[in-house]
Chain A
Amino acid sequence: MLKKLKELRKTCLKMSHAGKDGNLQSVFSSLEILYALYNGVMNWSPQIATSSERDYLIVSKGQATMGQYVVLSDLGLFSTDELMTFCNFDSRFGMQADRTKFPEGGIENSAGSLGHGFPMAVGVAMAHKIKGKTNNVYVLAGDGEMNEGTMWEAAIFATSKKLSKLCLIIDDNESISKMLSIGSLEKKLREFGFAVANCDGHNVNEIMTNIKSLQKEAEMNQSPACLIAHTVRGYGCQTLMTDPSWFHRFPNDEELKNLTKEVDTFCENK
């Protein structure tokens, strides 16, 4: 794992400890995807965060929001000090973001209720198409979210309107298989007309490479794209990967020390 990703995970642990809340398993599952998007895929920087030329990232999987905060902070959009106000009464940084609190950009949508972000992203991509613009629109969704009917309504619309600048990234941490057997997401999305690829969702280079080749395919097919990024809940911290109680929990002082150490010593081959 990149040293930087370990640092970001440790910042998440500190935020969760400070704000006394967190979906750390979901955040750690999405972190490489978010990092890859902002550091090699998207046309985005703090300097163009409100420019009409920027690429968009819509976070449909709201539980990953803390990951977005730390990646954007790493790029200089927010200060680490402000991140540590996480979940305070008058903080800008909640468990799920409120876009109206971020006039400097970065947070494009207010997430929380699953099944809303992807259709909104389809609307953003459609608006760009109408305006003749070529901005890419990325969406981070969870595999569990694919249970929502609105995700498939939006998929039909996106294919029908040939939204080739739209790229859905599914953080597939096998949430859905714990509830229902949905079968192959890949086959379903192909049937819905998407260009689809699979990758290791914790390998930054693989994420970047796959998105780039998917976008070429999508452009050629005039179809939307979908990357199914295979991930592990709580990745990068042994306890979070193995103890389900960490789905919605924050570390106390002692746990913060232990989990931080686990992140430091995490070895990908384990």
Chain B
Amino acid sequence: MRKQMIDSVSKVIAENENTSLFLVDIGVWGFRDVLKNYSERAINCGIFEDGMISIAAGMSLSGITPFIYGISPFILGRAYDQLKLDFCYQKLAGNFITTGAAYDFSKLGYSHYCPEDIELARTMPGLEFIAAGTPKEFEILFNSTWNDGNPTYYRLSNYCNKFDAKVAFGKAAVIKKGSKGVVIAVSTMLDSVIEACGDEDVTILYYTTLVPFDGITLRENLVNEKILLCEPHFEGALLPAIIDSVKDCAVKIKCVGVPRKINRNYGTKIEKDICFGLIDKDIRLEIRKFFNN
């Protein structure tokens, strides 16, 4: 997905004079051609996320759309105030692309994890949040949002789904329809969810735009008043959006996601998924328990 992101952003920078790219000493090799060919607009600023995001807001104020690429906790966490006040409050356009997802950098420790990203983003009204599941999906969602005049956050992951779904900005994709209830697969959880569901008679909805949340598709496809929510970030992070979407119905909801605790293990991302019960066999058990009882 990172390679696709570099290709997509590089193309935009090359084709649009009124754009700029800021790197936080991340992605310098991948963006080397852009940094060389458009050195006035494409800058490796070094390590100062908060000041840099305000500078980017100033550029946006003057009609240059900024792209910022960094590691998720240092953009959404460290520079939260700048995103909230300089972009959302002031209604400025900007694109914030991050690598790392919840714990892709598993060996680097908790400082480099960001399972809270979507919850932080949801406290900043006006900030769009994209979490594509594959490179192709990223390309589609990026192309339809980078120039929409809003601040947009893009979460990248190194652990993509195998197949591209038919995605569109602001819309959930209906992967299959069933009668026992709805399973919501968020972003990179789709592979595990499809595998886990097997031939269970359930509906699968796939979300790659997390803000704005497509409550209409959920409401239209709600069956048997049961929702199993599978998220690759803190468990239940999208619950408020779901409850808001189905608030006039009595619905039973079960959440699968990253536990809400400081994770002090290292190892691989997959080892963490296993530890947290986020792999096919664990999700399958949850599905059986939830929809068959």
Contact = CB atoms under 8 A, between A and B. Distances in A.
B55 A154 contact: yes
A126 B51 contact: no
A49 to B, nearest CB: 14
Given A99-B90, A153-B48, A120 B64 contact: no
Interface stretch (B81-89, B140-148, B199-207, B275-283): B81-89
B60 A123 contact: yes
Contacts of A247: none
21 contacts: A98-B89, A108-B61, A109-B90, A110-B89, A113-B85, A115-B54, A120-B54, A121-B58, A123-B55, A123-B60, A123-B66, A124-B58, A124-B59, A127-B64, A130-B40, A131-B18, A149-B51, A150-B48, A153-B51, A154-B51, A154-B55
Given A130-B40, A130-B64, 19 more contacts: A112-B85, A115-B54, A116-B85, A119-B52, A119-B55, A120-B61, A123-B55, A123-B60, A123-B61, A124-B59, A124-B62, A126-B58, A127-B61, A131-B62, A149-B50, A150-B54, A153-B51, A157-B51, A157-B52
A126 B55 contact: yes
Interface string B45-71: 100101110111111111110100000
B124 to A, nearest CB: 14
A121 B61 CA distance: 9
B74 to A, nearest CB: 13
Contact of B54 (A100, A123, A128): A123
Interface residues on B, range: 20 to 34
A122 interface: yes
B95 interface: no
Given A110-B85, A113-B81, A126-B55, A150 B50 contact: yes
B177 interface: no
A157 B55 CA distance: 9
A110 B64 CA distance: 18
Contact of B56 (A123, A128, A131, A153): A123
Contacts of A156: 48
Among the interface residues B40, B48, B51, B90, which one has the most CB atoms of the partner chain A within 10 A?
B51
Nearest to B54: A119
Contacts of A125: 58
Given A112-B85, A124-B59, A153-B48, A130 B41 contact: yes
Interface in B166-217: none
B41 A153 contact: no
| 6 closest A-B pairs by CB | A123-B58, A153-B51, A119-B54, A127-B62, A120-B58, A123-B55
A127 B63 contact: yes
A130 B58 contact: no
B40 to A, nearest CB: 5
Contacts of B85: 110, 112-113, 116
Contacts of A120: 54-55, 57-58, 61, 86
A124 to B, nearest CB: 4
A154 B53 CA distance: 10
B80 to A, nearest CB: 11
B151 to A, nearest CB: 14
A168 B140 CA distance: 42
Contacts of B55: 119-120, 122-123, 126, 154, 157
B43 to A, nearest CB: 8
